[in-house]
């Protein structure tokens, strides 16, 4: 393959990675099934950031890490791969960028990637890379209407002209998830934000170990040594006192085998 040729994604390997066996026509039904399978199979995690490894966003690197190596990643990796898969299947995808509001009162830089996807049922927001409080299935791009996804209710509000807020009404950290506009982004536009997220000392990913995996009925989040399980019945929090407990949780709950050079564990 020359540098001018498009990278050929291994779609069968990707489908196997997420356990997808359905139709691949560019319809809302396909988008929903793919979105749900990806979001509940590939964990949101930042191990490479803490290991000071470069986070690469080119498609060959994303396929190698998330598919072949069966690792996870954060939004630029997850949605970078997912958007490419959708385009290969014939979907029209507009890549977007958002400012995260969840769990903070400060104004954050725009460091989250999401997508607007055209379907036979109209445009939908797709996002497999927000982690534990992200959407499991695409949300119709409609304002002021609640959409139930399993035990969770999502809503979009237009907060200012051409500015939208995605909300999760049951989220205990605050219902506002992130704000975005419809200004299209190119893959290269995410490189500065990715560099900030992976290297800046103020980035939460540099400061904190995290692994997260949502499902329609349960959301599991590991933050340093705190393991949190959220269901419609409530929140359970457990402290993992030993390194081996963290390693076991990463493997058992997220399917992640910690690299042998994971020296950061002693610092969390």
Tell me: the pLDDT tens digits for 7-17? 789 999 999 99
Q: Which listed residue (38, 75, 101, 176) is catalytic?
A: 75
The answer to whether residue 3 sits within a structural domain is no
> For residue 39, how many other CB atoms are within 10 A of its CB?
27
Q: What is the model's pLDDT at position 2?
A: 38
Overall pTM surpassing 0.85 (yes/no): yes
The answer to whether residue 32 sits within a structural domain is yes
Using pLDDT thresholds of 50, 70 and 90, give the confidence band for residue 113. Answer: very high
The answer to whether residue 83 sits within a structural domain is yes
pLDDT over 50 (residue 1):
no
Question: Mean pLDDT, the chain, as a whole number?
Answer: 92
Strands (E), the chain: 44-45, 92-100, 110-118, 124-126, 139-140, 147-149, 152-160, 163-168, 176-180, 210-214, 218-223, 226-231, 234-239
Q: Which listed residue (124, 127, 168, 171) is catalytic?
A: 127
pLDDT over 70 (residue 33):
yes
The answer to whether residue 5 sits within a structural domain is no
| Annotated catalytic residue 112 | yes
The answer to whether residue 6 sits within a structural domain is no
| Annotated catalytic residue 75 | yes
Domain count, the chain: 1
What CATH number is associated with residue 196? 3.30.2140.20
pLDDT over 50 (residue 4):
no
Q: Which listed residue (35, 112, 171, 176) is catalytic?
A: 112
- Residue range of the domain that includes 109: 11-267
The answer to whether residue 71 sits within a structural domain is yes
pLDDT, tens digit (0-9, with 9 covering 90-100), for 92-112: 999 999 999 987 777 888 999
The answer to whether residue 161 sits within a structural domain is yes
pLDDT (average), residues 210-218: 93
The answer to whether residue 2 sits within a structural domain is no
pLDDT (average), residues 194-223: 94
| Annotated catalytic residue 243 | no
| Nearest of 140, 106, 136, 105 to residue 125 by alpha carbon | 140
């Amino acid at each position: 393959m020359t540098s001018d040729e498009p990278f050929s994604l291994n779609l069968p390997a990707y489908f196997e990675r997420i356990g997808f066996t359905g139709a691949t026509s560019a319809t809302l039904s396909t988008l929903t099934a793919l979105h749900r399978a990806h979001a509940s199979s590939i964990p949101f995690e930042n191990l490479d950031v803490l290991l000071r490894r470069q986070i690469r966003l080119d498609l060959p690197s994303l396929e190698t890490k998330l598919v072949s190596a069966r690792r996870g990643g954060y939004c630029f990796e997850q949605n970078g791969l997912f958007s490419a898969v959708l385009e290969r299947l014939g979907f029209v995808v507009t890549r977007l960028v958002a400012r995260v509001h969840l769990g903070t009162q400060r104004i954050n830089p725009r460091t989250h990637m999401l997508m607007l996807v055209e379907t036979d049922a109209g445009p939908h927001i797709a996002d497999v890379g927000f982690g534990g409080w992200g959407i499991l299935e695409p949300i119709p791009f409609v304002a002021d209407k609640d959409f139930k996804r399993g035990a969770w209710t999502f809503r979009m509000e237009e907060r200012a002209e051409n500015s939208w807020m995605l909300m999760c009404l049951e989220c205990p950290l605050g219902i506002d998830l992130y704000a975005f506009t419809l200004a299209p982004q190119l893959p290269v536009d995410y490189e500065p934000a990715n560099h900030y997220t992976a290297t800046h000392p103020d980035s939460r990913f540099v400061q904190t170990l995290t692994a997260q995996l949502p499902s329609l009925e349960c959301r599991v989040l590991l933050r340093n040594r705190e393991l949190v399980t959220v269901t419609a019945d409530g929140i359970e929090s457990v402290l993992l006192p030993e390194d081996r407990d963290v390693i076991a949780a990463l493997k058992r709950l997220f399917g992640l085998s910690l690299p042998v050079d994971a020296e950061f564990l002693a610092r969390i």
